[in-house]
Structure 1
Amino acid sequence: MKGILVCSLAFGLLVTLAFIPQRESQPQRPNVLFICIDDLRPDLKCYGNPVVHSPNLDRLARQSVLFTRQYVTQPTCGASRYSLLTGRLPRNPVDITNEALEKQVSGKPRTDEPETFIDQLRRNGYYTVGMGKISHSPDGYVYGYNDPKSNQLELPHSWDEMLFDAGKWKTGWNAFFGYADGSNRQGQQSKVKPYEAANVADEEYPDGLTANLAVAKLKELAGRKQPFFLGIGFFKPHLPFNAPQKYWDLYDEAKIPLTPSPTIPENVNPASLHESAEFNQYALGDEQASLEKPVSDAYARKLRHAYYASVSYTDAQVGKVLAALNQVGMAENTIVVVWSDHGWHLGDYRVWGKHTIFEQAVRSVLLVKTPGMKTGAVRNEIVSSIDLYPTLMELCGLQAPARLDGKSFSVLLKKGKPADWGEHAAYSYFKRGITVRTDRYRLTRYFRAQEPTVELYDHQQDPNENRNVADAHPDVVKRLMPVWEKGNTGLFK
């Protein structure tokens, strides 16, 4: 009798449970692998440059959506990353400097508003790991080029772990400007060349150590029952253009083409450009760059060779990380983003460096691979780096903060032509100038005395921005000025 009673109670409990609404199991949020590459202009084979050897990024591009016209807000490392991480346009003079994150984020108490999109992911259950240059500092900590490493994080609330292997260089800044023998630019008082080809293994330069660190961390993250964000910041092809000899050997220097823009653009004041100061501080360079005259063709080819070798070296490190992601079985549920913080002038307009608001300096690489979404597509719509924050939030099923300036481009990751993307513009800021890139034009206005202060480039007729046609087309300037005004945040008075 007792056994019958127990069975009856158990049956009744099962019947009761059957009629209680069951909570649906929540799908696992996607992981995020975010790879930042310093000073990489869109000179990859997948972007149409047949000379460059970039097999790993090219393979990723075939599995991703490749954005041909993604623009950063500032053509300098720290400021560009500040906008990317916060999803905001610059509003204060410090916002367009390399100290933007140090001054605006580091050392601040935690508030209700996330300091970065990484912080927002962390607040919503993600385990966040950074290594290398994600913010401005090469290892995520605030200290001077010649100082010992500090304990002050550049992004104090974003990371569960911030890692870096400085190797024989001892500190992040020494590694960032490091040479294969363990020396560095600042330690040598800039008496160094802007390039190096050493017959060494990948790990004898810092990015090789970072790739190894990332591979080991991915194996560890695979065992966690928690979605992760892993940010990896590779240094090259930032100056100095140093890479193992085997990557130099991929190129025939004599066949490397020179810039299609060897002179200062027509109707442009030299104040819109610069004298390549960052490049020229490498005192043992073969020649000094100047707006007065170009470097020799032979030296220009050598420098392009060095830059491309550095690109190929970084491409190999990216390949190691992507292979590890596959090997640990997490590729199917991981968003992969490859982004570069700005472009670089390789002799364009006689400039060697970034720090202009021309196309070559503010257009950068963006590849986005998303589980279950469109792959192998090429998108020509205009997008901005500030659009990445809201996009990642949407892809991860999270709410984006209300104060963002960016717009999610997740519709561009799906199949078919998006019905609701519409006209979009990208704004960039530097040298007391604001520029807007629309589908056909670039309109720039400078807050300065040197004329002309307004520049207009027609990309349908002049894709390399060799002619300022503002005076010839005042009607176009007038039509675009309201679009330009939308990006005027009051930064320049």
Structure 2
Amino acid sequence: MLFKRIFYLLAIVLLAAACRSNGTQSKGTAMPEHPNVLFIAIDDLRPELGAYGNEVVQSPHLDQLASSGFLFNHHYVTVPTCGASRYSLITGMHPLTRSHIQNSAIAEYLSEKPETERPESFVHHLRRNGYHTTGIGKIAHSADGLVYGYLEEPSDIQEMPHSWNEFLFDAGEWGNGWNAFFGYAGGRDRNHLDKQVKPYEAAPVEDEGYPDGLTANLAIEQLQKLKKQDQPFFLGVGFFKPHLPFNAPKKYWDLYDESEIPVSPSPGIPENVNEASLHGSGEFNQYQLGEEKAGLDHDVSDAYARKLKHGYYAAISYIDAQVGKLMAELKKLDLDKNTIVVVWGDHGWHLGDQRVWGKHTIFERAVRSAFILKLPGNQYAPKAFDEIVSTVDIYPTLVDLCGLEMPHQTDGHSLKMLWEPQAGQSWRNTAYSYFRNGISVRTDRYRLTRYFREAEPTVELYDHQSDPYETKNVAADQAATVDRLLETWNAGNTGIFDR
């Protein structure tokens, strides 16, 4: 398996090298004036793909997409939790209040609100400008676009009431969105099993035996319908995995030899860090039948860590296959020539890193996520960008690429300047993240985090040149660097934790 993996990665590298030039400009077909957009949101997807250098995970379709488009090696979300990260995505804004870093942000600030001159989201802006907008699955926080609790019956309250021409979801045998989101094979779900489940499952079922397979099929049906329309479209497709539980058809588990899966390179709590910067993996520990519980006072065994990572990788491979189906249909319908494709992970995930199993920190593992952008035509050569970019940059980028004007100022900037630089322009090369009473800024070399709390230390500095896994806070030893970076940090201080 290792030989095949090396051969495959070499082929991808050679293909990419053949396509790439010293710059991003290449002669060829230009983008259409108002291209379609296929936006694929993948829950909890940290940059754990072959395209990002992982030599174990099997992700051929996402790797192919990355090798033919733009791969962003250092993309960071603003908030490491699902709903708040997606609120920042659709609005292009950093959080201003504590409510903005909660999963309920979209429901609180958009649902049941009247339409105003300022669009509620970039999807809303596209719709106002002639785009037909269709949503499927988890685009905002809800699994099916409606506001209701995990154990409640679905409501008729839309999360994003002005953004969609239509919002669809096939819950299959699970019955509703949240049951499907926590679904196990055979129509079972964590909600109605009172959490008496394991945090993973490998069932001998086809892709449609879990909800994401149904989502892919529904998206294909919509592509076929959208092909017949005489207006550009925005199709948002939200996949659940690899969010917990790590459930996937057994055939995707069978792609891996569990003994070859490495454990975390940074399994301990970082030096000179207060445990208040981390958490005890409460979301993960809700799965009551898991063989071991996680906690800051102990490591899980290497064997169990490999089992869990096996499940995470299997879930990635499962979603990779669904993305492959969408890309094949896009090409079959001849829509690839006029459709922008975006793949975006809503945040990262600690796979035992810093002794955490989950997101909800402002360490690198929780805020760095996958981001791929494929433009139609061949005007631009594929490229992997090492610049620091943020989720808030996606709104202005898509508006720019779709030939529209920005309706208001956001905290982001169009990424187009990276592959089409203009004289006098320079990329800001910073990204800000907010959580756990803290604000963190990532630069090309450092991560500086400051917490608004009593527990010391309240300032953390990580040098990614010498410590890419953030194993040691060196703030006390590099006071001059901290002082210099605090000026950059201040630019992202929205006052969220001062109130």
Q: Percent identity?
A: 62
| Alpha-carbon contact 1:74-1:429 (below 8 Å) kept | yes
Q: Is contact 2:32–2:338 with CA below 8 Å preserved after alignment?
A: no
Residue 442 of structure 1: SS of its match in structure 2?
Answer: strand
Give 1:253's aligned residue.
258
**Residue 241 of structure 1 corresponds to which residue in structure 2?**
246
2:450 aligns to what?
A: 445
Deviation per residue, 1:215-258 (Å, 9 max, x gap): 11101100000000000000000000000000000000001001
Provide TM-score, normalisation by structure 1.
0.93
Shift of 1:57: 0.2
Task: Give the CA deviation at 1:402.
Answer: 2.3
Instruction: Determine which of 433, 437, 441 is the counterpart of 1:436.
Output: 441
Match of 2:66 among 54, 61, 69: 61
Shift of 1:421: 2.9
Partner of 2:128: 123
Relative to structure 1, the CA distance from residue 30 to residue 270 in structure 2 (aligned partners, 3 Å threshold; closer, same or farther) is same
CA contact (8 A) 1:62 1:375 kept: no
The offset of 1:371, in angstroms, is 2.0
Residue 45 (structure 2) pairs with residue 40 (structure 1) = yes
1:227 aligned to which of 224, 232, 239: 232
User: Which of these residues, 268, 274, 278, is aligned with residue 269 of structure 1?
Assistant: 274
* Distance (whole Å) between structure 2 residues aligned to residue 417 and residue 384 of structure 1: 20
1:324-335 alignment to 2 at 5 Å? Answer: 324-335=329-340
SS of residue in 1 equivalent to 2:64: helix
**Structure 1 position 424, deviation (Å):** 2.1
Spell out the pairing of 1:16-415 with structure 2 (5 A cutoff).
Answer: 28-372=33-377, 373-414=379-420
Decide whether aligned partners of structure 1 residues 413 and 232 sit closer, same or farther in structure 2, where only a CA change above 3 A counts: farther
Matches within 5 A, 1:415-430: 420-430=425-435
Change (3 A) 1:296 1:417: farther
SS in 2 for 1:380: strand
Which residue, out of 468, 474, 480, partners 1:469? 474
**CA separation of 1:467/1:27 partners in 2, compared to 1, >3 Å: closer, same or farther?**
closer
- Using the alignment, how far apart are the partners of 1:27 and 1:286 within structure 2? 53
**Which amino acid is the alignment partner of residue 297 of structure 1?**
D
User: Match of 1:129, as an amino acid?
Assistant: T
Per-residue CA distance 1:279-305 (angstroms, 9 max, x = gap): 000000000001111000000000000
Letter in 2 for 1:213: L
The one-letter code sitting in structure 2 at the alignment partner of 1:332 is: K
Q: Indicate if the aligned counterparts of 2:118 and 2:408 stay in contact, CA closer than 8 A.
A: no
RMSD over equivalenced CA pairs, Å: 1.3
SS at match of 1:67: strand
Residue by residue over 1:179-201, the C-alpha shift from the partner in whole angstroms, topping out at 9 and shown as x without a partner, is 00211111011000000000000
Whether the 8 Å CA contact 2:261–2:310 is kept in 1: the answer is: yes
CA distance in 1, matches of 2:451, 2:202: 40
Deviation for aligned residue 1:395: 0.4
Q: Which amino acid aligns with 2:455?
A: Q
CA distance in 1, matches of 2:98, 2:273: 24
Deviations 1:458-483 (A, max 9, x none): 01111111110000000000001011
Counterparts of 1:316 and 1:413, CA distance in 2:
29
Q: Is the 8 A contact 1:130 1:231 kept in 2?
A: yes
The whole-number CA distance in structure 1 between the counterparts of 2:409 and 2:416 is 19
Cα distance in 2 for partners of 1:424, 1:28 equals: 28
State the alpha-carbon separation in 1 of the partners of residues 215 and 106 from structure 2.
22
Q: Using the alignment, how far apart are the partners of 1:440 and 1:83 within structure 2? A: 24
Separation (CA, whole Å) in 2 of partners of 1:137 and 1:71: 22
Mapped partners of 2:399, 2:423: distance in 1: 19
**Offset of 1:403 from its aligned partner?**
2.9
Instruction: Write the distance in 2 (CA, Å) between the matches of 1:255 and 1:304.
Output: 11
Q: Which runs of 5+ in 1 are unaligned?
A: 1-25
User: Cα distance, 1:262 vs. partner?
Assistant: 1.1
**In 2, distance between residues paired with 1:81 and 1:123?**
20
Amino acid at match of 1:438: T
Deviation by residue 1:152-194 (Cα, 9 ceiling, x = unmatched): 1100000001000000000000000000021111101100000
Q: Does the CA-based 8 Å contact 2:418-2:427 persist in structure 1?
A: no
**Aligned twin of 2:22:** none
Distance 2:301 2:139 in 1: 35
Structure 2 counterpart SS, 1:137: coil
Q: Which structure 2 residue ranges, 5 or more long, are not aligned?
A: 1-30
**Which residue type is aligned with residue 334 of structure 2?**
G
Letter in structure 1 aligned against 2:383: A
Shift of residue 418, structure 1, vs aligned partner: 8.6
Partner of 2:494: 489
Question: Does structure 1 conserve the Cα–Cα contact (< 8 Å) formed by 2:77 and 2:346?
Answer: yes
Q: Please tell me whether the aligned partners of residues 56 and 319 of structure 1 are also in contact (alpha carbons under 8 angstroms).
A: yes
Is the CA contact 2:293–2:300 (under 8 Å) kept in the aligned structure 1? yes
The residue aligned with 1:13 is none
Could you tell me how far apart the structure 1 residues matched to 2:418 and 2:372 are?
Answer: 12
After superposition, the Cα gap between the structure-2 partners of 1:479 and 1:309, relative to the gap in structure 1 and judged at 3 Å, is same
Q: Which amino acid aligns with 2:400?
A: E
Q: Deviations over 1:101-128 (max 9, x none)?
A: 0001111000000000000000000000
Change (3 A) 1:418 1:179: farther
CA distance in 2, matches of 1:43, 1:375: 24
- Whether contact under 8 Å (1:88, 1:406) holds in the other structure is yes
Q: 1:401 to 1:417 in 2, by over 3 A?
A: closer
Kept after mapping to 2: 8 A contact 1:65/1:374: no
After superposition, the Cα gap between the structure-2 partners of 1:202 and 1:454, relative to the gap in structure 1 and judged at 3 Å, is: same
